[in-house]
C-alpha cells in the first residue's frame, strides 16, 4: 500500500513522508507521467524538517548506476541508514508533472 501520492507541478514542489519514531533503511518510489525536470529523493534524521540531503537512487527499470537525480519515469530504490523523514522534491522543473508514489518505506 503506498504511503504517499502527489503530483509535482513546479520547481521546489515536494511530498514529505514522515516515519514518526521509526527509522527507515530503504525507500522505493515510483515516478509516473511524462515530465522534463529533475526530482531528487532527500532524507533527514532531525525533527525540524529542515536538514535534508539528496540520496543516491538506483533506477530499478534500467539498472543503471546510482545517481541523485531522477529525470525519467520509473521505479527508484535508495538504501539509507536510520532516517526519519523522506521527501521527493522537484529541484528543476520545465514541463509536465510526475506523480510520485511511495511504494515502501522499509524500517529498521
pLDDT band, very low/low/confident/very high, at 82 (cuts 50, 70, 90): confident
For the chain, what is the mean pLDDT? 86
Pairwise CA distance, residues 24 & 79, whole Å: 9
What is residue 49's predicted lDDT score, i.e. its pLDDT? 66
Pairwise CA distance, residues 66 & 63, whole Å: 9
How crowded is the C-beta side of 8, counted as CA atoms within 13 Å?
Answer: 34
Q: Is the pLDDT of residue 96 over 70?
A: yes
pTM higher than 0.75 for the full model?
A: yes
Which residues, other chains included, contact 63 with Cβ-Cβ below 8 Å and sequence gap of 6+?
none
In the chain, the percentage of residues whose pLDDT exceeds 70 is 91
Instruction: Write out pLDDT tens, residues 31-64.
Output: 999 999 999 999 888 767 678 999 999 999 888 8
Domain ranges of the chain: 5-107
Pairwise CA distance, residues 15 & 89, whole Å: 7
| Cα distance between the two ends of the chain | 18
Superfamily of the domain at 5-107: Galactose-binding domain-like (2.60.120.260)
Amino acid at each position: 500500500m503506498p504511503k504517499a501520492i502527489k503530483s509535482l507541478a513546479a520547481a521546489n514542489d515536494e511530498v514529505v513522508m514522515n516515519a514518526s519514531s521509526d527509522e527507515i533503511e530503504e525507500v522505493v518510489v515510483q515516478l509516473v507521467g511524462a515530465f522534463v525536470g529533475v526530482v531528487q529523493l532527500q532524507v533527514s534524521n532531525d525533527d525540524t524538517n529542515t536538514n535534508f540531503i539528496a540520496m543516491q537512487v538506483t533506477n530499478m527499470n534500467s539498472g543503471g548506476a546510482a545517481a541523485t537525480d531522477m529525470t525519467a519515469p520509473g521505479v527508484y530504490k535508495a538504501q539509507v541508514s536510520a532516517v526519519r523523514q523522506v521527501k521527493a522534491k522537484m529541484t528543476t522543473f520545465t514541463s509536465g508533472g510526475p506523480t510520485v508514489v511511495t511504494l515502501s518505506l522499509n524500517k529498521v
